[in-house]
Amino acid sequence: MNWKLNFLKSWTAKILLVGIMLAFGFSCEKEDLDQEVKTAFSDTSIEPTIEFTGNDLRYVAVREAGPDAPTIVFVHGAPGSGDAFYDYLKDPELATAFNMITVDRLGYGASKPGNAEPSIKAQALSIMPIIDQIRLDGQPIILVGHSYGGPIIAELAMLHPDEIDGLLFLAPAIDPNCEKYVWAGKLGCSWPTKWVTPEGMEVAAVEKSNHEKELELMENDWSLIQSKVIYVHGTSDGIVPYENYDFAKKKLAHTDLNLVTIDGGNHFIPFQKQELVKRFLFDLKE
């Protein structure tokens, strides 16, 4: 009887999770994303702008630090959107020292939502017009990548090593030999369950199913990175294994590299360790 009870509990949990995901997907689709930005910043004096590149990538920018300040570009994980980093754009100390941009990656937020783009290089190239404009304005550039955003900022630094001044990796999924693919991610790739999977989860599932081979395409290009690098990972990360740390240690040994371990830390470093992340951003500015 125990196995029957465990089986029932397991499938009850899965059905419940699908229900939560489904409800979340519907609620997100109903939001006015521009109004969401205005609401998010309504309790501050900071005025963000909502902009698009020519390839329909949406980003939110705060440029209160002036034309000579460095620019930080934040790249979120999967699923997610640029709103993951609004608290940084709203931070008065950061807004005084940096201009800041947070992107909706292709497939998420208001950047061709629901249209998965599993190519890491294509994701990086979609952000490149923003990088080109910042460099044209003569500003130093710092890239921040969380989780799936990590390999995307790495790809940007590989494609244009002379244009990126600093990289901050936060629990990045960069080692092709450490890929974890849990059952929930498969819902978005399987036809019987795809229809009940929220749009963002479906996009993330497509990305995840291609992630290992995409990382393998990058494996010989890490030596191209010339930026100053800070790499941060928690030892108890249950989503992106801590073993990615060893990959970074090997592949980025030629750079000005600071490897940081958070003992007992989980995957959600940008949201739970904001003061620590801020400190690293100022370290990259120096």
Nearest to 139 by CA among 89, 90, 66, 82: 66
User: Which of these ranges, 58-62, 103-107, 185-189, 204-208, has the smallest mean pLDDT?
Assistant: 185-189
Q: Supply the pLDDT for residue 54.
A: 84
Q: Could you tell me the pTM of the whole model?
A: 0.85
Question: Does the pLDDT of residue 6 top 60, yes or no?
Answer: no
Q: Is 211 left (phi over 0), alpha (psi -120 to 50) or beta?
A: alpha
Q: What is the pLDDT of residue 20?
A: 41
Superfamily of domain 31-285: Alpha/Beta hydrolase fold, catalytic domain (3.40.50.1820)
Q: How far apart are CA 121 and CA 210, in angstroms?
A: 13
For 83-133, the pLDDT digits (tens) are 999 999 999 999 999 999 999 999 999 999 999 999 999 999 999 999 999
Domain boundaries, the chain: 31-285
Least confident of 36-50, 82-96, 107-121, 193-207: 193-207
| CA 265 – CA 268 distance, rounded (Å) | 8
**16, pLDDT greater than 70:** no
Q: Model confidence at 201, in pLDDT bands (50, 70, 90)? A: confident
| Arithmetic mean of pLDDT over the chain | 86
Confidence of residue 64 (pLDDT cuts 50, 70, 90): very high
Q: Tell me how far apart the alpha carbons of residues 14 and 173 are, in angstroms, rounded to a whole number.
A: 25
Q: Which of 283, 167, 173, 177 is nearest to 238 (CA)?
A: 173
pLDDT band at 181 (very low <50, low <70, confident <90, very high): low
pLDDT over 70, % of the chain: 82
Average pLDDT over every residue of 137-161: 96
Interval 210-255: pLDDT, tens = 999 999 999 999 999 999 999 999 999 999 999 999 999 999 999 9
Structural contact between residues 92 and 47, judged by C-beta atoms closer than 8 angstroms: no
